[in-house]
Structure 1
Amino acid sequence: MVEKSTKEVRRKIVDNYLNFIGGEWIDSKDGITNTQVNPANPSQIVGYTAAATVEEVDTAVQQAKLAFQQWKQLSPVGRGEILRKAADLLEAQSQDIAETATKEMGKRFIEMKGEVLRGAAILRYYAQEGMRKLGEVLPSANNQNTLYTLRVPLGVISVITPWNFPVAIPIWKIAPALVYGNTVVWKPSMEAGITAVKIAKVFEQAGLPAGVLNLVNGSGEIVGNALVEHPLTSAITFTGSNRVGRELASKAVAQNKKYQLELGGKNPVVVLEDADLDLAAKLTVEGAMKQTGQRCTATSRVYVEASIYDMFIEKLLENVTQIKVGDGLDGSVTMGPVASKKQFETVTSYIQKGIEEGAELLYGGNALYDPVYNGGYFVEPTIFASVTNEMTIAREEIFGPVLAVIKVADYADALTQANDTIYGLSASLFTTNLNKAFDFIKNSEVGMVQINGETGGAEPQAPFGGMKESSSGTREQGQAAMEFFTAYKTVSLTTSL
């Protein structure tokens, strides 16, 4: 929602959050602001973010390019020390940042607090990366020649991030970009703009030089496109929808820019008859409903052997009925709202589609309109049975608390159907059979495999990313991040002695 006319009046009620360009906090030149509302109570305004103009994006990139000349000269150890300070500050401010994010995009406070602390852990990890090698010495055919490689920064990185992990995803992009010597212009999702401002302030407080990190809030159509198409940006790292990712990739290729995409998922769980069914049911429900299903790694499909199908359904229902839906700031709630009206409409339309196509609605499926919910964007946790692999709810990413249960004949049938998708992010297998576990690891067409664990979850030191249309191929997090954020320089040094 964009408004101009009552801007000054509204600022007296709640804060207006500015863009961060060249080390200064700057209001939008044309006065446009984005209204941030609480998805648990849309009548409650959380604040207003200044929408950057194309000219302001240009200024941000120019400032980042200017700052790059000095930032790349700083020792990576020194760059890492700034990240370490940022980690301490982020941790100290975790309560405030978590509360802000919960109000802004609906994630439960306990989940959001954990995410902020995870962001601090990511910063500490990359602070240490500043002490690792950035090249290697190679043998040369000439014994008077020293041959070695260096990893060097790319320049100005365009960072475009989603709303569902408003702290962790930006940090796991920004931290490696910075420690390897790049500068950053960051466009967060419009649904997480206030949280982004607070993160940028953490980096400012940590002593990051002016222009090294720049924040430009606004729409993808205006700010995102201007950032991607700017001639001075060297690379683009993006997490979001497949549609936008494909458009971005086309623009990057046309400009010969490096790009990194983390896109959608339709993550399967396979449950075999020898599995611990209590554990499998518990983690399948958690994987599907945690963070209201708004994770690219969320469990979306579960393939269950016919011999245990009915028993497993009972155990799923035992777990899902324990979920309490409500405001994410309420400590007794176990599932919050979806992030926005748009997301609410998307999720409820998929539920209706599942019913129309003949899936059996086992549990939930309703939007919650009771006055208790304050007109918020709440959807019940939803489980469909009697689903086939051809149904829409088994093929398209829903990004909400909806689980499709599919009966299969055996392990081979389950593997075939689990792989029958355009996506390839994450997959889980529940079994005690070691041979099948290793076969699943080898033959599941995904970037991340879990054995007896839920489909979600990632650690800072481990590469994160998918296959097929879930990713452009490069990996985030861990030392794998160096592959994207740096380029090789080969050096040959010959002496006459």
Structure 2
Amino acid sequence: MTRTIPHFVGGSLLTPDAGRFSDVFDPSTGAVQARVPLASADDVRRVIDDAEAAQPAWAATNPQKRARVLLRFLDLVHRDMDSLARLLSSEHGKTFDDAKGDIQRGLEVIEFSAGAPHLLKGEFATGAGTGIDVYSMRQPLGVVAGITPFNFPAMIPLWKAGPALAAGNSFILKPSERDPSVPVRLAELFHEAGLPAGVFNVVHGDKEAVDTLLTDPRIQAVGFVGSTPIAEYIYSTAAAHGKRAQCFGGAKNHMVVMPDADLDQVADALIGAGYGSAGERCMAISVAVPVGEETADALAAKLAERVAELRVGPSLAEGVDYGPLVARSAVERVEGYIQQGVDEGATLLADGRGFTVPGHEAGFYLGPTLFDHVTTDMAIYREEVFGPVLVIARAADYEQALAMASDHEFGNGVSIFTRDGDAARDFTARVNVGMVGVNVPIPVPIAYFSFGGWKKSGFGDLNQHGTDAFRFYTKTKTVTSRWLSDTVREGASFVIPTMS
């Protein structure tokens, strides 16, 4: 009998025996390995009931004690790291080492969030007026929700949950139904670490569950990561229902390669950033922008050489550079983009279509694909492919390369490789993109800075992790306090108070 992946609600695993279900595949073999229940609107409302009931006591727990729960959680995840990584690999398809990196990047935000006692401190001003003090305090919102994607089933849930929990909120996670087991295990580990029942809940579902979270008045804030059309929908729907929303969408990350760059270093960086995790990363570099024909010709030759050496296979196999895509539909979608690139006139240097792994012919595999002479009007340049496809879009000079990255509708991440400090400094100041790398192929900020793209890549005023996360998950209350002697009698005043 097929295994059923449970919800985690009110501190317990909940496995329904009726209702709607979705299949969970092993991408390496193409076989169904489990099924996941899809919650109804009534199911979600019952989860919100539990979260709402648990939140006041958690909010009343002092921040230092909340932080200690996070620290115990860190120890438990490290204890179970290998089993969690294997579980993640088996449902997502990324390699074992990459799965461990997924978990570790999430833990770094938990580590940062353990600083909640400092991060939640308000401000205090004495003597703002005669006998008047003014101070502010940060208080939790209440019940908040995270809707997270398949491509980082540990990292992004932890990016959302860590600051939300540390700030005193209860949290409802709606993970991707494609790889839902690791989020459930994380919920169990939070509970084992001492998080009270109902403070962290995992509910599986599709649009019905999402819409319930977006419209229920008890949900105060929603965080989302996924495609741009869904990010726009969630942002606008949440805002229409009076909720805070922090939504991150698609990307088309460029790497500008200056003529003075070390092209061997560049080629290695592009291979890892473009094909790692089968290109299923919002921070993947999918467009190489070499400046000048000589640079472009040399880079294309080096990339073609390295692409031919990439090893693709089952996610848990030894020596594999990347594994399968998450679903058969993902393979078909990416193959459609490859055909569009050919039809639109790009030069196909490596074609990954029809790739199979002996013994795993039904797996969701796609070989590495490389295009050259891609122009800005082509679909493979304009749209997010989200697969192991790297394109070379040549620029005549630095200004054209800068404009290509700046003018694209996505503004998530960008990198420049150069030995010229002046060029790098100019680029970081002028490029119209939210996250920038200088000689860094994947410009993901560390946990105590914020993560977020611009333009069609991000919707909302505050970013993920860093201090922005604590601002997002708290509301500020400002108190003006005055203590007067019993002998002071000033009489009524009908004038607006001022600092004078």
* Structure 1 residue corresponding to 2:62, chosen from 75, 78, 82: 75
Separation (CA, whole Å) in 1 of partners of 2:359 and 2:343: 29
1:195 aligns with 2:195: no
1:330 is matched with 317
Asked if 1:346 is matched to 2:333, the reply is: yes
Matched residue, 1:232: 218
CA RMSD across the alignment: 1.5
Return the alpha-carbon distance in structure 1 between the equivalents of residues 364 and 448 of structure 2. 35
- Correspondent of 2:435 among 448, 454, 472: 448
Partner secondary structure for residue 383 of structure 1: strand
1:94 aligned to 81, 84, 87, which one?
81
Report 1:51-200 matches (<5 A): 51-138=38-125, 141-200=128-187
Does residue 206 of the first structure (1) align with residue 188 of the second (2)? Answer: no
Change (3 A) 1:238 1:435: same
Partner Cα separation in structure 2 for residue 393 and residue 237 of structure 1: 28
Farther-moved stretch of structure 1 (335-344 vs 457-466)? 457-466
2:481 is equivalent to residue 493 of structure 1: yes
Instruction: Assess if the C-alpha contact under 8 Å between 1:299 and 1:456 holds in 2.
Output: no
2:20 aligned partner: 32
Whether 2:384 is the aligned partner of 1:404: answer: no
The amino acid that maps onto 1:322 is E
Q: Which aligned segments of 4 or more residues in structure 1 are displaced greater than 6 angstroms?
A: none
- The one-letter code of the counterpart of 1:463 is S
Whether the 8 Å CA contact 1:47–1:194 is kept in 2: the answer is no
Relative to the length of structure 2, the TM-score reads 0.94
- 1:148-194 Cα offsets, whole Å, 9 max, x none, are 11111111101100010110100010010000011111100011211
Q: Which position in structure 1 is the counterpart of 2:252?
A: 266
Structure 1 residue 280: Cα displacement: 1.1
Q: Quick one: distance in 2 between partners of 1:297 and 1:222? A: 29
Amino acid corresponding to residue 177 of structure 1 in structure 2: A
- Whole-Å Cα distance in 1 between the matches of residues 466 and 133 of structure 2? 30
d(CA) in 2 for partners of 1:127, 1:254: 33
CA distance in 1, matches of 2:272, 2:22: 33
> 1:41 is paired with a residue of what secondary structure?
coil
Q: Deviation at 1:318? A: 2.5
Q: Provide, for residues 322-375 of structure 1, a one-character-per-residue CA deviation record: whole Å limited to 9, x for no partner.
A: 210110100211111111112111111111110010000011332314543331
1:140 deviation in Å? Answer: 5.4
Q: Deviations over 1:5-25 (max 9, x none)?
A: xxxxx25xxx32211112222
1:287 and 1:456 in contact (8 A); partners too: no
Distance 2:423 2:325 in 1: 36
Alignment correspondent of 2:492: none
Does 1:433 find its partner at 2:427?
Answer: no
Residue identity in the other structure for 1:460: A
CA drift at 1:119: 2.7
For residue 402 of structure 2, the aligned residue among 415, 423, 427 is: 415
The answer on whether the counterparts of 1:88 and 1:120 sit within 8 Å (CA) in structure 2 is no
Q: Contact 2:120/2:167 (CA < 8 Å) preserved in 1?
A: no
Rounded to whole Å, the distance in 1 between the matches of 2:218 and 2:395 is 52
Q: How far apart, CA to CA, are the structure 1 residues paired with 2:283 and 2:212?
A: 29
Partner in structure 2 of residue 7 of structure 1: none
1:361 aligned to which of 310, 325, 348: 348
CA distance in 1, matches of 2:336, 2:291: 29
Other-structure match for 1:468:
455
Q: Which amino acid aligns with 2:209?
A: V
Q: In 2, Cα distance between the equivalents of 1:140 and 1:490?
A: 15
Matched, 1:217 2:220: no
Q: Amino acid of the residue matched to residue 230 of structure 1?
A: D
Larger Rg: 2
2:173 partner SS: strand
Give 2:10's aligned amino acid: G
Q: Secondary structure at the match of 1:234?
A: strand
**1:221-271 superposed Cα distances (whole Å, 9 cap, x missing partner):** 111111111121001000111111111122112111110011111000000
Q: CA deviation at 1:460?
A: 1.5
Q: CA separation in 2, counterparts of 1:49 and 1:38?
A: 13
How many residues align? The count is 483
Q: Which sections of structure 2, spanning at least 5 residues, go unmatched?
A: 486-500
Check the 8 A contact 2:291/2:395 in 1, yes or no.
Answer: yes
Contact 1:135 1:150 in 2 (8 A): yes
Which of 260, 263, 266 is the aligned partner of 1:280? Answer: 266
Corresponding residue for residue 491 of structure 2: none
How many angstroms apart in 2 are the aligned matches of 1:491 and 1:452? 47
Structure 1 residues 388 and 139 mapped into 2: Cα distance closer, same or farther (>3 Å)?
farther
